[in-house]
Structure 1
Amino acid sequence: MLPPRPIPGIALPEPDSSRPTSPDTATIAPAPNTPMAHSALPLVPFNSARDALRAWMRDSSAGDQVGAVRALEYAASQGHLTAQYKLGRMYAGGEGVPTNDLKAFEYFSKIADENADAIPGTADGRMVGSAFVALGSYFIDGIKGSYVKPNPDRAFDMFNYAASYFGDPDGQYNLARLYMKGQGTARDPRQAARWMKLAAEKGHAPARAAFGEMLLRGGEGVPRQPVLGLMWLALARESADPAREAWILERNDAAFASASPADRTAALALVERQQVATGASPSRGAGRP
């Protein structure tokens, strides 16, 4: 089985490059008739959401985490997308605040509800696409002790929208996993391979490894192409994070160990060709002597 991708993280734009927001935007709140997820910190008055983001950067640099969170809460209450996304990430990962998946879920929901038509490829579009992926991840398992219950159908919807509209590689990878397992949709190995390939072509390391294994195995509508499979596994190994994605290194090493010398040589030649085409620096490993 393939591990899910964690709640995604992307580089945030600087406050001055963020889109302007209206001071009349409603403050964030849980959906009607649902339990209150949290009591917001007191909102400190600022002249604008942009001023609050500058205060967040200043307080963060000074080590004032309480002040930084209050500034972000104010900007988020004014509908500032970057602040909402940052808070969602913080509560999802416990970054400077206690981990609170329900708070994270509500911030990501706010983003998805109000920005589903953001332009793909823009800074806003990347954050909104990541928010949809995060929601899909929460719908897979639900949030214990909350009104967010496991809902594979909703997870499929979230990943599918992130993958198809925003072209988000995390969304494409997770959508492929659902097609592989038949979770939230009918099992479809061909669709799984299609979405996995799209994510792999964007440099997504887990997708590269998974697509490589699909080509190594073949079957169920996916042609067996061992050389290409080894190539994708080698590319995955070189772009993987060894601390978080040790499984990629293990599967690459096992595949190369069992491959024929001719297939290994041909695969490494393809890897070098890819590196030349993309301007990447060749690296050792992935079956290299």
Structure 2
Amino acid sequence: MRTFDAVRTTILSALVAAATLGTVGGASAFDDKVFDDKGEVKAESNPWAVFQFGFTAYKSGHKDQAVEAYRYAAENGQIGATWKLARMYAEGDGVPRNDFEAFKFFNEIVEQDVEVGSPEESYVSDALVALGGYLKRGIPDSPVRADTVAAQEYYMRAAATYRNPNAQFEMGKMFLKGEGGVKASVRQAGRWFQLAAEKGHAGAQATLGNMLFQSGKVVRGLAMMTAALERAAPADQPWIRNMQEEAFALAAEADRRTAIALAQDILTKGEGG
């Protein structure tokens, strides 16, 4: 399971459990317990209860109320609410997209004292990857400038400490290209790609497959790229398809047939490569 999915599961599991105990009502029924006559969250509200309300309001399509609820909960120590705000600003979900606002919320999360293995570690892990991405690219019209060395440090923390597959994939790419202050190393790149692939990361599996193909392990490489294409999210399918089709065009017919059969075996058994 990818870390982003794990974060979603953390939120959903907690709120479903709370709902089972009767602590979460419909958004409209709970409004007067959370908001005052001015539409602001009541100062005496319990942060966890407000976070619950925010989740219910969000699912009901009342994202304006969700934002206010999450903001109050975040200001009062709810890391999950901070993460939701970060994601909403990063994706323009219920608010105008604002990468710098998202960056600030993600940064608040990674500065929290969260122990490895705690239920909240998935928020920190995801935030580290997000910050790494922002620092790798930079954020236009903001103080955040592109800094691949700083990005590598965030990715490494998420990859090594939290075993985040997205971060492991990014570390693999950095070692492959010699970016972020690390020395280019195919061996180190392959190690990180392998770790991410074992967790089902399609991009890592495809890249590792291409590396195997280029090194002469044609069938295994083709099979991994083919399996990765089947698993990939829509946003990743174009570049993985181009990589896979280019390799297939160079392979012998017998190798293609064998690779297709092996790819189905990989998909059936859920292997990461």
Q: Same fold (TM over 0.5)?
A: yes
Cα distance change on mapping 1:270 and 1:62 into 2, 3 Å: closer
Question: Which among 210, 215, 223 is matched to residue 212 of structure 2?
Answer: 215
Question: Which among 237, 241, 245 is matched to residue 233 of structure 2?
Answer: 241
Does structure 2 retain, via aligned residues, the 8 Å contact 1:8–1:133?
A: no
Give runs of ≥4 in structure 1 deviating > 6 Å.
Answer: none
Shift of 1:275: 3.4
Shift of 1:226: 1.2
The 5 A counterparts of 1:57-206 are 57-115=55-113, 117-119=115-117, 123-184=119-180, 185-206=182-203
Paired residue type of 1:133: V
Shift of 1:102: 1.3
> In structure 1, what is the Cα distance between the partners aligned to 2:191 and 2:145?
29
> In structure 1, what is the Cα distance between the partners aligned to 2:262 and 2:75?
51
Shift of 1:159: 0.5
Does structure 2 retain, via aligned residues, the 8 Å contact 1:85–1:108?
A: yes
Cα distance change on mapping 1:229 and 1:123 into 2, 3 Å: farther
Shift of 1:241: 2.3
Are 1:263 and 2:255 an aligned pair? yes
What CA deviation, in whole Å up to 9, does each residue of 1:45-71 have, x standing for no partner? 353222112221332244322211000
Cα distance change on mapping 1:48 and 1:247 into 2, 3 Å: same
CA RMSD of aligned residues (A): 2.4
TM-score (norm 1): 0.77
Does structure 2 retain, via aligned residues, the 8 Å contact 1:180–1:189?
A: yes
> In structure 1, what is the Cα distance between the partners aligned to 2:8 and 2:64?
22
Paired residue type of 1:106: K
Does structure 1 retain, via aligned residues, the 8 Å contact 2:114–2:120?
A: no
Does structure 2 retain, via aligned residues, the 8 Å contact 1:44–1:71?
A: no
> In structure 2, what is the Cα distance between the partners aligned to 1:135 and 1:243?
20
> In structure 1, what is the Cα distance between the partners aligned to 2:48 and 2:147?
36
TM-score (norm 2): 0.81
Q: Percent identity?
A: 34
Are 1:230 and 2:222 an aligned pair? yes
Does structure 2 retain, via aligned residues, the 8 Å contact 1:16–1:50?
A: no
> In structure 2, what is the Cα distance between the partners aligned to 1:118 and 1:274?
31
Shift of 1:15: 6.7
> In structure 2, what is the Cα distance between the partners aligned to 1:63 and 1:165?
36
Q: Which residue of 2 aligns with 1:4?
A: none
Paired residue type of 1:225: K
> In structure 1, what is the Cα distance between the partners aligned to 2:134 and 2:239?
23
The SS at the match of 2:134 is helix
Tell me which moved more, 50-59 or 228-237.
50-59
Does structure 2 retain, via aligned residues, the 8 Å contact 1:172–1:199?
A: yes
Question: Structure 1 regions of 5+ residues with no counterpart?
Answer: 1-6, 19-40, 219-223, 280-289
Paired residue type of 1:207: A
Are 1:54 and 2:52 an aligned pair? yes
Cα distance change on mapping 1:116 and 1:188 into 2, 3 Å: farther
Cα distance change on mapping 1:187 and 1:278 into 2, 3 Å: closer
> In structure 2, what is the Cα distance between the partners aligned to 1:244 and 1:215?
20
More helix by share: 2
Are 1:254 and 2:252 an aligned pair? no
Does structure 1 retain, via aligned residues, the 8 Å contact 2:51–2:78?
A: no
Shift of 1:148: 1.7
Paired residue type of 1:211: L
What CA deviation, in whole Å up to 9, does each residue of 1:142-181 have, x standing for no partner? 2222222221111111111111111111000111111122
Shift of 1:197: 1.4
The SS at the match of 2:140 is coil
Shift of 1:12: 4.3
> In structure 2, what is the Cα distance between the partners aligned to 1:212 and 1:46?
56
